[in-house]
Amino acid sequence: MARLLDKTLGGIRLLGFSLAGEETVLAAPEYNVCFDVGRAPREIISIDNLCLTHGHMDHAAGIAYYLSQRTFVGNSPGRVIVHRALAPSIQKLMDVWADIEGHPSPGDIRGVMPFEDVPIRRDLLIRPFDVAHPGKSLGFTLIEVRHKLKAEFHGKSGPQLVALKREGIEIEERLEVPLLTYIGDTALGRWLKLDFVQQSRVVVLECTFFDREHVTRARAGRHIHVNELPEVLAALPESQILLTHLTRRTDLRHAKHILEQTVSPDDAQRLTFLMERPPRTAPRRPESLRSQGDTKVAVDPPGRT
């Protein structure tokens, strides 16, 4: 069984794995973007754009391996998009590995500041923003860029529109469609009021703590506690939410039970746990084994394990 979980929310396919303190990585393969690198699982090596939320080891340990493996398999150098304050340290890390390996692993370490957009392709960009976590930490929103003819030019012919453009008249308006927001590790903060976050089709949200006695612990580590999810859901009324960053101390069944007691049934329908695997079903036996002459062989009903 593959280690990364495969989910589709809001029409967006996501591959990921997340255990707090151990490893967090999430990829949107069709958009050629990965958020955090974890231990650099093989499924993300071919993805060209890696957005690193912060420098904690469980999110960032695989950077050198990601860039090295791209060179090893013949891919072009990858691009690591990270807070500008962390970019020099990552470059130092790559320089040290070059000394250890005896050759460099090329890569574009792109240091950015909040709201400094990074083009992914002509119709797609990444927008970083501040989150509330220790150190230099960022969240990222994947935004589709569309261009629409302005209302005052509706009904104009093709040649007329070409003539207007030659005169330097802007005939189109730029539209931004937020597709996916990846929050990374954070407490609640101003990021929750950003319009492009609120309008995102899918929001990937950490929820690290579920036990009541861990509220103080969540605040101290600048993480989200399940008790805060109603506030988050109220600010994101149209978004599908993918929950990540549970710890091994929290059994998934226990977390789901607490969640059902914390949010409304309608809101619960919008929440998905990344680490919940689909139920396993027993394989159906071949027809040749179901009947042997006049002797019928019992077959387990569908769904029995």
Q: How far apart are CA 133 and CA 221, in angstroms?
A: 8
Output b/e per residue, 27-56; b: 16+ Cβ within 10 A.
Answer: bbbebebbbbbbbbbebbbebebbbbbbbb
| Beta pairing partners, 178 | 143
Indicate the fold that domain 5-146+177-277 takes in CATH.
Answer: Metallo-beta-lactamase; Chain A (3.60.15)
Q: Which residues of the chain register pLDDT less than 50?
A: 1, 289-305
Residue 37 in contact with residue 61, Cβ under 8 Å?
yes
Model confidence pLDDT, tens digit, residues 182-238? 999 999 999 999 999 999 999 999 999 999 889 999 999 999 999 999 999 999 999
- The pLDDT of residue 285: 62
CA distance 46 to 209: 33
Task: With residue 125 as reference, give the H or E element that holds it.
Answer: strand 124-130
Q: What is the pTM of this model?
A: 0.86
**Phi, psi (5° rounding) for residue 112?**
-130, 160
Domain ranges of the chain: 5-146+177-277
* Residue 284 pLDDT: 64
In sign, the C-alpha dihedral spanning 34, 38, 42, 46 is positive
